[in-house]
Amino acid sequence: MADYHFVYKDVEGASTQWDDIQRKLGNLPPKPPAFKPSPFTPAEDEDSKPRDKAWIDDKTEEELEDLEDDPDLDDDRFLQEYRKKRLTEMREAAKVTRFGSVIPISGSDFVREVSQAPPDVWVVVILYKDGYAECGLLLQCLEELATRYPETKFVKIISTDCIPNYPDCNLPTLLVYNNGAVKANYVGLRSFGRRLTPEGVAFVLCQSDPVLKEGQSGSKPSRKAVLEGVRKRFIEKAVTEHEDDDDGSSSD
């Protein structure tokens, strides 16, 4: 015969009077607290977020562009203007990181990469050949300047790929382009002084035009402002090198 039985289970957290007496006497462990579910908090809806500067700062460039047709944003002139400002900042930042190295090009690339570069881009072209020590020295300087001034486009091209029969005695040669026109040219290393350094090359490049721009300025910088930035970097490097020399001397 089957043994049918069941266990009575009271409401969770309930306790009998007998159990309460036993707990007071220490014969039973303390009663566990009754289970309470966590309060329900609905997920935050995008539309429920306050529309302020922080809300716009969280947007990507694509999302900011989509907001142009948002009727609610049109009613808030401040947010509309702030959206435009954020878009400008993002595009300027993207522009700054556009270059940053000396780009090798061929003769067939020259028109596209140099002559047809955007009007706001300065292009520094070095005509060189492998195996020429002076070309290697100037290339080293340009590599450092390209990293330091990523808004300026630096390219290198084999001299005879650019200009057929170009004399080797003119190497290296620098050409500076802007808006499709040659703004300056420097033949050989004598243009850059007795001691070739990136700072010396930068000074020469910026003597007549704001070739080397740094930062994310909203307006086009003047030649004087750019030259002052180059001069500041020159002084900072000279001071650092002097301090390093002093540290080396004191350790001897």
Sign of CA dihedral 215, 219, 224, 225: negative
DSSP-assigned letters across all residues of 107-118: GGGHIIIIITS-
| pLDDT the model gives residue 73 | 67
Structure tokens belonging to residue 177: 């382009």
**Nearest to residue 183, comparing CAs of 114, 234, 127?**
114
Q: Where are the beta strands (DSSP E) in 140-246?
A: 153-158, 173-178, 181-187
| pLDDT the model gives residue 218 | 41
Cα separation of 121 and 114, whole Å? 9
DSSP SS3 for 122? strand
| pLDDT the model gives residue 203 | 85
Contact 197, 141 (CB under 8 A): yes
Q: Which residues of 35-58 are buried (b: 16+ CB within 10 A; e: fewer)?
A: eeeeeeeeeeeeeeeeeeeeebee
| pLDDT the model gives residue 50 | 65
Cα separation of 103 and 125, whole Å? 9
pLDDT tens track, the chain, 252 positions: 555 555 445 555 566 777 777 777 777 777 777 667 676 565 555 555 667 777 777 777 677 777 776 766 666 776 777 778 887 777 766 655 578 899 999 999 999 999 999 998 999 999 999 999 999 999 999 999 999 888 899 999 999 999 999 999 999 999 999 999 999 999 999 988 888 989 889 889 988 788 986 654 444 455 666 667 667 766 776 667 666 666 655 555
| pLDDT the model gives residue 1 | 52
**Nearest to residue 83, comparing CAs of 116, 106, 104, 56?**
56
Domain made up of 102-240: CATH architecture: 3-Layer(aba) Sandwich (3.40)
Contact 100, 147 (CB under 8 A): yes
